[in-house]
Amino acid sequence: MSPMRAPVRVSRDDLPSRVTIWEVGARDGLQNESTVVGTATKIELVDRLGAAGLPIVEATSFVRPDRVPQLADAAEVMAGIARRDGVRHPVLVPNLRGLDAAVEAGVGEIAVFASATDTFAQRNLGRPMADQMAMFAPVVERARGLGLPVRGYVSMCFGDPWEGAVDPGQVVGVCTELLGAGCTSLSLGDTIGVATPGQVVALVERLVRTGVPIDAIGVHFHDTYGQALANTLAALTAGVTTVDSSAGGLGGCPFAESATGNLATEDLVWMLDGLGVETGVDLEALVATSIWMADQLGRPPVSRVVQAIGG
């Protein structure tokens, strides 16, 4: 019995006609790997993801090598990747030094990483949540002055392993601060994968009520509790059109031990294809890329669609 290689398409009127997938496998996925992946392999991964039709492939992060050794070759990766028409390659930067290195490497857009909880801010950024904007604001200001779009990631939007449930007001506060500082878009992170659909819709609607444009909101779900696809569908019904995912389901968070893998891009594409939502992604090419990457890492991909189609 051969596997189905495409879903039956049944469209819904309450969903967007097109969704932009923000692919994070090459950065967020690989940063959690204990074995350092070679630069040439990273470059090939980024190139293959772009060739598969993903419009945004986050390439790397310009962080301190001692903090995230896996991404110490950021400049080399940016120098080696193919600059394909229609494919954006944003990078994460933590501070002005990282921004300077990214600009020197020819980066066209950046992202910064904030927290919606105090404990995670202390662990991830080394400072309390109340002080994090002092770290990001100069980076955002300089980047915007250079004409670069800036995405603001917000971690722990739905739950925190140390603090438990997160007050939505804290999330809204951080999001409005990031936009006020000049960020052009946001990514709401369910860093430990505990969110449920009602919680997702409520937070998105609250942000919109406070004046955050719906087209500035992206979502970033982890599948720790098996809720990532359900939460994504809920976000789409609330008007969100940008979804983060990771090829093969790579990644977690090196600073939150209970976080397991990101939403797998193949699983997301299968669902969206079945709902008649356009992505521009070639699922077969994406599956082949994740199988290839799994071989490089020496373990099978966690994506259910890759397992079904790839055998």
Considering only CA atoms, which of 201, 101, 91 is closest in space to residue 149? 91
pLDDT score recorded for residue 311? 65
- Catalytic positions: 253
Longest pairwise C-alpha distance within the chain: 58
Q: Containing H/E element for 288?
A: helix 283-297
- Beta-carbon contacts of 164 under 8 Å, excluding residues fewer than 6 positions away, are none
Report DSSP letters for 175-232, one per residue: HHHHHHHT-SEEEEEETTS---HHHHHHHHHHHHHTT--GGGEEEEEB-TTS-HHHHH
What gap in Å lies between CA 301 and CA 311, rounded to an integer?
11
Q: Containing H/E element for 271?
A: helix 265-274
Domains of the chain: 20-310 (3.20.20.70)
What gap in Å lies between CA 209 and CA 55, rounded to an integer?
29
CA angle 220, 198, 150 (to 5 degrees): 30
Q: Structure tokens of 16?
A: 């967007």
- pTM greater than 0.85: yes
pLDDT tens sequence for the chain (311 residues): 678 899 999 999 999 999 999 999 999 889 878 788 999 999 999 999 999 999 999 999 999 888 888 899 999 999 999 999 999 999 999 999 999 999 999 999 999 999 999 999 898 888 888 899 999 999 999 999 999 999 999 999 999 999 999 999 999 999 999 999 999 999 999 999 999 999 999 999 999 999 999 999 999 999 999 999 999 999 999 999 999 999 999 975 444 444 458 999 999 999 999 999 999 999 999 999 999 999 999 988 889 999 999 86
DSSP 264: B
Handedness of CA 304, 45, 256, 235 (dihedral sign): negative
Q: Containing H/E element for 74?
A: helix 74-80
The H helix count followed by the E strand count for the chain is 11, 9
The alpha carbons of the chain give a radius of gyration, in whole angstroms, of 18
Q: Structure tokens of 169?
A: 């007001």
pLDDT score recorded for residue 88? 98
